[in-house]
Amino acid sequence: DLASEGADVGLATLEYIHVHKTARLLEAAAVCGAIVAGGDDEEVEGVRRYARYVGLLFQVVDDVLDVTRTSEQLGKTAGKDVATDKATYPKLMGVDGARAYAAELVASAEAELDRFDAARTEPLRHLARFIAYRQH
């Protein structure tokens, strides 16, 4: 992530960075939960994919907020990614493109949960939506 600052990074590299950073953290937690709950291999894999989508979603939304919100709204320094010439989804896709990608990611995350009991997955759906629509 830090090595990409100021570098000409494409979308595939950016996604690789965030899959191996943000998404993997969420995958580990989600997979552990699925295993402890007694999920079979297919169920555990579905939960892993859900978490990967949510991890990428978090990063896409974070990148968008960095360029669309103020420091006061975020509770952290806004515009830091632009100032450091960091590779971000808005930089590569534009803000509207990044928002559209976020919508795809939340839809994909929720689709991974369709195989499970709706009442049991509602907290995970809520988490995905919270991350997608957060304002800070």
- 95-132 pLDDT tens trace: 999 999 999 999 999 999 999 999 999 999 999 999 99
Amino acid letter for position 49: R
Given this model, what pLDDT does residue 76 score? 76
Name the token pair of 78.
């806004």
Establish how many alpha carbons lie within 13 A of residue 43's alpha carbon, considering only the half-sphere containing its beta carbon: 13
**Whole-Å CA distances, 122 to 93, 101, 110, 133:** 31, 22, 10, 16
Q: Which range of residues forms the domain containing residue 86?
A: 11-133
**pLDDT tens digits, one per residue of 31-70:** 999 999 999 999 999 999 999 999 999 999 999 999 987 6
Given this model, what pLDDT does residue 7 score? 66
108 lies in some domain: yes
Per the model's pLDDT, the better-predicted residue between 75 and 94 turns out to be: 94
Helix then strand then coil, % of the chain, to nearest 5:
75, 0, 25
84 lies in some domain: yes
1 lies in some domain: no
2 lies in some domain: no
CB 75 within 8 A of CB 26: no
Q: Which residues contact 116 (CB under 8 A, 6 or more apart)?
A: 43, 46
Query: Residues 83-101: what's their mean pLDDT?
Result: 91
* Residue 83 pLDDT > 80: no
5 lies in some domain: no
* Residue 71 pLDDT > 70: no
The predicted model scores a pTM of: 0.90
95 lies in some domain: yes
58 lies in some domain: yes
Nearest to 131 by CA among 60, 77, 44: 60
3 lies in some domain: no
Given this model, what pLDDT does residue 5 score? 65
Query: Which CATH number covers residue 79?
Result: 1.10.600.10
Domain count, the chain: 1
